[in-house]
Structure 1
Amino acid sequence: MGARRRRVGTLAAVVATLALVVAGCGGSGGSSGDGGDCDTSRGTLVVGLIAPLSGELASVGLGMKNSADVAINQANARCAVPGYHLAVQSQDDRADPQVGAAAAATLARDPSLIGVLGPFNSSVAQTVQPVLGEAGVVQISPGSTATSLTRGANAVTAPLRQYQTFFRTVATDAVQGPAAATYLSRTENKRRVAVVSDGKTYGDGIAEEFAKQLATQGGQVVARVRAPQGTPQAQVVSSVAAARPDAVFYGGEYPEGGPLSAALAAGGVSVPVMGGDGVVNPGYVTAGGREGDLGTSVGPPPETLPAAREFVEAYRRAGYPESIGSYGAFTYDAANVLVDSAVRSLAEDGEWTPTLRPEIVRAVQGFHGDGITGPLSFDRFGDVSTDAVTVYRVQQGRWAVVGPAD
C-alpha cells in the first residue's frame, strides 16, 4: 500500500483547538459532527464502542458513549481523517460477558471498523479480548481495570500479555487496590479489615490487591468473604460481624455495594465501607451507601484538570442528560488516541482497508502524547503510564473528593 505516514503522536494539538470546535459538537446524543466543509468523499469509518448502555450500570456506559461522541464530533469538525467521516457505532453489552462477545463479533465484521472503545466491566473485557484479538482490531478500554487483562494471572512472578490488541487509558487494580489499602491503614488508621468481593473479575482482583497491600502496612484481613450475585445478604453480614472489623473493603460495583453498606449497618456493623472505582457513583448512595463510606477512583476528577475544562464544557453544551461520570474523560482520551493512530496508519494515498488494522495496533503501542487526563503512553503490556488515584468520601449524601491517595 506504499509507505506509511509517520509522525509523533500527540493530543496536545487536539486539546489546544477544543475551544474552536466546541460549537461543532452537535445536539443531544449526536454521534457525528457534520464536519463543515470537510472532504468526506471516501465514505465513513466506524469507531466501535462496547459498554453497558442499559441495566444497573447504564449511567456509566452512557457517560462513556456520550464522551466518545464528543471526541468524534470534534474530530469530524476539524477534518481529522482526510476524505472520511467518522461515526460511533455503540453496542450495549448489558454488563454481560457473552453479550459483550457477541457485540464485538458484530463490530469486527464491519470492514469500515478502525477500532473499539471499551468495555467497562473487566469480566466483559475478558470475553471481548479474544474476539477482537483474532480479528486484529485494536481495543482501548477506558474502564476495565483488572490487572490480569494485560499481565495474566501471575502479574508479578510471570506476567504475560496474551492480547497485543488490548490497551487501556485507565490505571489497573494493581495501582488502585494498594492505594486504597495504604490510605485506609495509614490515614484512617483502620487496620482490621473485612474484605468482601462479588466474585467477578474486577471485584475479586481489586480485593486481592487490597489485601496484599494491607498486610505490608501492618494490617490484617480479619474476614475474607466472596459473595457472588444471589448470596444471601444476611450470610455476608453475619460473617463480617463475627470478625469485628474496624472497616470493610468491598470489591465490586455500586448496585451491590450500596445495599451491602446499609445491611451491615442494620446488622450492627457500623464501620465504614471502602471500595474502588466500581462504587464511586451516585447510585451507590441512593442504593444505601452511608455517610463516611470511602472509595477510590483512577485519575483526578476531570473538572479539576485544566486540560479537561473544554471537554467538560463541550459535554455540557451538547445537552446529554447523563453525567460524564468517572470514565468519560478516559473514554474521550481513548477515542482521540484511536483517531490519531488511524490517521498515522492510513496508506500514502489515504485509502482505508481492513488490512491496515495491524498498523493501528502498532501506532497505539507507540503513541506518546498529552491527553486531558494527563500524559498518555502505553507500556509493553498495553497499560497506560499514568497511575494517579483519588480518594472520595460520602458526605452530605454525595461523593466528595478527599484528595490524592498518596
Structure 2
Amino acid sequence: MRRSAALAAVAVAAAFTLTACGAAGSSPGACDTDQGTLTLGLVAPLSGELASVGAGMRNGADLAVREANDQCAVPGYRLVLDARDDRADPATGVEAARALVANPDLIGVVGTYNSSTAQAVQPVLGDAGVVQVSPGNTNISLTRGANPVTAPLRQYQTYFRVVATDAVQGPLAANHLAATGRTRVAVVSDGNTYGEGIATEFVKQFQTRGGQVVLRQTLPAAAPAAARDAAVAAVRAARPQAVFYGGEYPAGGPLSEALAGEAGPVMGGDGMVNPGYAAAGGREGDLGTSVGAPPETLPGARAFVQAYRQAGYREDFGEYGAFSYDAANVVLGAVGSVVTGRGGGEWSTDQRPAVDQAVQSWDADGVTGNISFDRFGDVGSDSVTVYRLVGGRWIPERTQP
C-alpha cells in the first residue's frame, strides 16, 4: 500500500476513535448520500443454541453502522447492515456468504463466530476479494495454515480477526490449572475445529508444565445419550483433578452437570464463557477463558456500553458484541479511507483490493484495545481473561497480559 493511502487509513481510524459512540459530529440526516447505498455483511449464528452470541455480534455491528452514518464516514453513501444467519453450520455459512458476495455494493463482512464455519466461508469471500474481519474465530489454522509452527502459511489475504487465538487461550488455561496444583487432567472435546484446536493447545502446554493428561476423548456435541454416559464414566474412572472441555457451552454445561464435581472443576475456552452455561448445567467453581478484557473494565469501552444500552437492543452485547463493533469499524473506516482517497465518486468492486490493503494497514484504538494486524491477519493484542462461575455468573479473576 502506498504511504499516502496508509496514512489516510490511519487518519480515518483516528476519526472513528474520536467520534464513535455518540461523540460530537454531523447530525443524523445531514450527510450527502447521493451516491447510493453500501452494504456491510455479517455472518453469525442468529438462530439455534448459539443465537445469543450471534445477536450480540449483529447488534454490535449495527451500532457501528448507525454511528458511521451519523458521522458521514463514507462520503456520498448511506451504509446498511445485511445480517445473515449461519446457524453455526459451515454449509449454511457458505450459502450466506454466496448471497452476500452477489451484491456488488458489498464492502466487507463481519464474521464468523465458529471457526469451522470460517473455514468454509473464507474461500467464498477470498475468491470474491471481499474483506472479512472476524470478532470471534480463534482457531490458529485460519491465519497460519495447517502447520502454524513449522510452516505458517496465510491462505487468504482478505481474512483478519480482532481476537486472540487458541495459541494464547489454551496455554493460559493450562498454566492456570497447573498453578492451582492440579497435575492430572482429563480432556474432552467435541471434534469441531474450535474445540479440537483449543484442546490441543491446552494439552501441549499442560504437559510442558509437567502435568499428566489422564484421558483424551472426543465427544460430539450431538452424541446420543449412551455415548455421553460412557464418556462421563470414562472421565470418572480416570480420576482427574480437573476436566478441560474443548467446545461450546450448550454441550459443556451438561457435561459438568453429569460429572457433578466428581472430577474437579470443568474448564473451557471462550465457547464456554456464556451466560447460558450455568442454565445448561454448569457448576459453581467451573472455569473458563475468554478473549480480551471484560468490556466494562476498559476505559475505551464505557462509551460503547452506554451507546449500546441507549440504542435499545433487546439482547445483551455478550462476549462478542464489542469485538463485532470493532470489526465493523475497521471495515467501515477502511472503506471510508479508500473512497476519500479517490476523491469520492462511485463505488465499484475493483476497489475491494484497496480495502483489503487499508485493513492490513489499520492501526487505531478500538473499544476492546488497540487494533492492528500482523502479516497473517492476526490482531496484535492477545489479552485473555480467566473467569470463574460464581452464583451462576462468570466472574473475571485475572486478565493476561
Give TM-score, length-normalised by structure 1: 0.93
State the AA in 2 paired with 1:271.
G
Residues 297-316 of structure 1 aligned to structure 2 (within 5 Å): 297-316=290-309
How far off is 1:35 after superposition? Answer: 3.4
State the AA in 1 paired with 2:356.
V
Q: 2:101 aligns with which of 108, 117, 123?
A: 108
CA contact (8 A) 2:32 2:76 kept: yes
The Cα RMSD (Å) is 1.7
Q: 1:286 aligns with which of 279, 298, 318?
A: 279
- Distance in 1, matches of 2:132 and 2:205, equals 30
Residues 55-204 of structure 1 aligned to structure 2 (within 5 Å): 55-186=48-179, 188-204=180-196
CA contact (8 A) 1:146 1:205 kept: yes
How far off is 1:191 after superposition? Answer: 1.8
Does residue 320 of structure 2 align to residue 327 of structure 1? yes
State the AA in 2 paired with 1:395.
V
Q: Tell me, what secondary structure is at the counterpart of 2:8?
A: coil
Does residue 373 of structure 2 align to residue 378 of structure 1? yes
How far off is 1:304 after superposition? Answer: 0.6
* CA deviation map 1:84-128 (0-9, x unaligned): 000000000000100000100000010000000001000000000
State the AA in 2 paired with 1:275.
G
CA contact (8 A) 1:21 1:77 kept: no
1:47/1:360 Cα in 2 relative to 1: closer, same or farther (>3 Å)?
A: same
How far off is 1:18 after superposition? Answer: 3.4
State the AA in 1 paired with 2:157.
Q
| Alignment partner, residue 350 of structure 2 | 355
| Alignment partner, residue 211 of structure 2 | 219
- Distance in 2, matches of 1:208 and 1:314, equals 39
Q: 2:364 aligns with which of 352, 369, 388?
A: 369
State the AA in 2 paired with 1:351.
E
- Distance in 2, matches of 1:197 and 1:8, equals 41
How far off is 1:222 after superposition? Answer: 0.8
How far off is 1:249 after superposition? Answer: 0.3
Residues 45-60 of structure 1 aligned to structure 2 (within 5 Å): 45-60=38-53
Q: Tell me, what secondary structure is at the counterpart of 1:222?
A: strand
| Alignment partner, residue 395 of structure 2 | 400
Q: Tell me, which stretches of 5 or more residues in structure 2 are unaligned? A: none
| Alignment partner, residue 29 of structure 1 | none
Aligned residues: 392
* CA deviation map 1:276-310 (0-9, x unaligned): 00000011100000000000001000111110111
CA contact (8 A) 2:206 2:212 kept: yes
CA contact (8 A) 1:142 1:334 kept: yes
CA contact (8 A) 1:22 1:74 kept: no
State the AA in 2 paired with 1:7.
A
Residues 265-276 of structure 1 aligned to structure 2 (within 5 Å): 265=260, 269-276=262-269
How far off is 1:273 after superposition? Answer: 0.3
How far off is 1:385 after superposition? Answer: 0.5
- Distance in 2, matches of 1:103 and 1:17, equals 31
State the AA in 2 paired with 1:240.
V
- Distance in 1, matches of 2:23 and 2:40, equals 19
Q: 1:13 aligns with which of 11, 15, 39?
A: 15
State the AA in 2 paired with 1:330.
F
Q: 2:331 aligns with which of 330, 338, 348?
A: 338
CA contact (8 A) 2:239 2:263 kept: no
How far off is 1:19 after superposition? Answer: 5.4
* CA deviation map 1:58-97 (0-9, x unaligned): 0000000000011110000011111000000000000010
